[in-house]
Amino acid sequence: MLKKVYDVKVIGTGLAVLYAMSLFIFMRFAGVVDLPFRTYFYILLFAILFVSAVAVISLQEWGRKLIVALNGVMFLCLFARYIPQIDMVPLAYIFMNIVVLLYFSQSSIRLYFHGKKFRKWYSILVVDDDEILLKTIRPLLISHGCSVLTAASGEEGLQIVKIQKPDMVILDVLLPKMKGREVCRVLKEDESTKNIPVVFLTAKDSSEDIEAEMAAGAAAHLTKPLNPRQLIATIRDILEPKHGQGKS
CB atoms within 10 A of CB 185: 15
| 37 falls within a domain | yes
Q: Containing H/E element for 124? A: strand 122-127
CA-to-CA dists, residue 175 to 37, 149, 153, 200, angstroms: 63, 17, 6, 12
Residues 8 and 90 in one domain: yes
CA distance 180 to 185: 9
Compute and round to an integer the Cα radius of gyration of the chain. 24
Per-residue pLDDT tens listing for the chain (248 residues): 556 777 888 999 999 999 999 888 877 766 555 566 777 788 889 999 999 999 999 888 889 999 999 999 888 887 777 665 555 556 777 888 899 999 998 877 876 776 667 888 899 999 999 998 898 898 888 878 889 999 999 999 999 999 999 999 999 999 988 999 999 999 999 999 999 999 999 998 899 999 999 999 999 999 998 888 899 999 999 999 875 444 43
Q: What CA–CA distance (Å, rounded) separates 127 from 151?
A: 5
Last residue of a domain, one of 55, 80, 110: 110
Residue 248 lies in a domain: no
Return the number of other C-beta atoms located less than 10 Å from residue 35's C-beta.
Answer: 13
pLDDT digits (tens, 9 = 90+) for 200-232: 999 988 999 999 999 999 999 999 988 888 999
Q: Find the CATH number of the domain harbouring 199.
A: 3.40.50.2300
The total number of structural domains in the chain stands at 2
Q: Which of 23, 25, 60, 61 is nearest to 45 (CA)?
A: 23
Three-point CA angle 139, 219, 188, nearest 5°: 105
- What confidence score (pLDDT) does residue 248 get? 38
DSSP category for residue 146: E
Q: Please indicate, yes or no, if residue 115 is contained in any of the structural domains.
A: no
* Burial tier of 26 (Cβ tally within 10 Å: 0-12, 13-18, 19+): buried
- Identify the pLDDT of residue 210: 94
Residues 60 and 94 both lie in one domain: yes
Task: Check whether residue 35 and residue 82 sit in a common domain.
Answer: yes
Are residues 90 and 33 part of one domain? yes
Q: What is the pLDDT of residue 116?
A: 66
Nearest to 183 by CA among 157, 151, 163, 215: 157
- Predicted local confidence at residue 247, as pLDDT: 40
Q: Do residues 216 and 181 make contact, with C-beta atoms less than 8 angstroms apart?
A: yes
On the 0-12 / 13-18 / 19+ scale of CB atoms within 10 A, 192 is exposed
Domain boundary among 110, 137, 162: 110
Q: Determine, yes or no, domain membership for 244.
A: no
Contacts 24+ apart (CB under 8 A), 219-224: 224/133
Q: How far apart are CA 93 and CA 83, in angstroms?
A: 11
Range of the structural domain that residue 220 is part of: 122-239
Q: According to the model, what pLDDT value does residue 52 have?
A: 95
- Mind listing the pLDDT tens digit for each residue in 131-145? 988 988 988 888 788
Helical H segments across the chain, by residue range: 2-29, 37-57, 61-82, 88-105, 107-110, 131-143, 154-164, 180-189, 207-216, 228-239
Residue 166 in domain:
yes
Contact at 8 Å (CB) between 154 and 175?
yes
